[in-house]
């Protein structure tokens, strides 16, 4: 990313280009790589590049999850993938799903990792150690930060919905909304529609990154009805495995493109 555009400006440009709210998750699994590739770490970068090219027409953002690369020792390849996207699709933002959450100098280094080493447009962060885990990322004024708020995993309610009055997820939503910073958004799972609706009420114009559509069972139509702002936007709806790993045959790219087209058609930006 160059700082000619802020993260928010890149999102706006990507919406105009794609006319879609679809964010494609780039979470490669070796055991699910299609037939043209060996199921090994040396295949991952080229596989991901083919996914990017096959879905670029329909995606308003790409979201690689750091763990799928770091577990294989592919951090340099992740940086190469981000550079590939920036070079070929310069108005399509890249969100690094890293869920970083630490304090003081450690958080500062995680910000450097995201915004210098990987040069991503935005990163996900975990606020549950306290707001000082978020602040070092906000110092990068033109980059995006998505703060975990109400996540889609089943065990999240143990913490995020406590206490009964003024639960943690509502406090996070209110705090991010109070920043009035268009580059700062929230991560809200699509599998908790009641809470998604409440969060939209607490943060009426905040950009939401929404996982959970596809394999996890949530439906795009429900997310659009519940999570969009009054302008029919302000959401990036992520789909990962439901697009990139539904076909392991030599014709996988046909399925990838068709899946992306179908999801994008369900997430068309309203005029």
Give 85: exposed, middle or buried? Use CB within 10 Å, 0-12, 13-18, 19+: buried
| pTM metric for this prediction | 0.95
Residues 234, 91: Cα–Cα separation, whole Å: 17
Residues 114, 122: Cα–Cα separation, whole Å: 8
Would the pLDDT of 270 be above 90?
Answer: no
Summarize pLDDT for 194-252 with one digit per residue, the tens.
999 999 999 999 999 999 887 777 888 999 999 999 989 999 999 999 999 999 999 99
For residue 180, the model assigns a pLDDT of 96
Reported confidence tier of residue 3, pLDDT bands at 50, 70, 90: low
CA dist list (Å): 66 to 43, 54, 147, 220: 17, 21, 16, 25
For residue 174, the model assigns a pLDDT of 97
CB neighbour burial string for 134-158, b if at least 16 within 10 angstroms, e if fewer: bbbbbebebbbbbbbbbbbeeebee
Whether a cis peptide bond, with omega within 30° of 0, leads into 163 is: yes
How crowded is the C-beta side of 107, counted as CA atoms within 13 Å?
22
Specify the higher pLDDT residue, 164 or 87: 87
Cα 108 versus chain centre, distance: 21
DSSP character string of 186-214: EEE-TT-HHHHHHHHHHSTT--EEE--BS
**Catalytic (active-site) positions:** 99
For residue 218, the model assigns a pLDDT of 81
Reported confidence tier of residue 142, pLDDT bands at 50, 70, 90: very high
Closest CA to 148 of 109, 121, 105, 187: 187
């Amino acid at each position: 990313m160059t700082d000619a555009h802020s993260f928010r400006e890149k999102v706006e440009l990507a919406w105009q280009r794609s006319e879609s709210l679809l964010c494609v998750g780039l979470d490669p699994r070796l055991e699910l790589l299609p037939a043209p590739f060996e199921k090994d770490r040396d295949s991952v970068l080229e596989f991901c590049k083919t996914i990017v090219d096959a879905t670029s027409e329909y995606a308003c953002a790409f979201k690689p999850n750091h763990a799928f690369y770091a577990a294989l020792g592919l951090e340099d390849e992740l940086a190469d993938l981000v550079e590939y996207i920036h070079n070929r699709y310069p108005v399509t933002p890249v969100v690094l799903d890293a869920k970083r959450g630490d304090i003081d100098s450690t958080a500062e280094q995680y910000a450097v990792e995201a915004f210098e080493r990987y040069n991503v447009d935005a990163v996900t962060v975990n606020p549950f150690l306290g707001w000082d885990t978020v602040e070092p990322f906000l110092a990068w004024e033109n980059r995006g930060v998505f703060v975990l708020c109400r996540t889609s995993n089943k065990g999240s309610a143990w913490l995020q919905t406590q206490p009964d009055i003024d639960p943690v997820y509502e406090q996070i939503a209110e705090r991010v909304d109070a920043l009035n910073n268009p580059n700062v958004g929230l991560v809200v799972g699509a599998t908790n529609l009641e809470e998604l609706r409440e969060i939209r009420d607490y943060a009426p114009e905040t950009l939401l990154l929404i996982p959970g559509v596809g394999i996890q069972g949530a439906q795009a139509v429900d997310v659009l009805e519940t999570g969009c702002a009054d302008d029919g936007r302000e959401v990036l709806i992520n789909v990962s495995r439901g697009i990139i790993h539904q076909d392991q045959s030599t014709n996988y790219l046909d399925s990838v493109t068709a899946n992306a087209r179908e999801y994008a058609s369900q997430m068309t930006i309203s005029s």
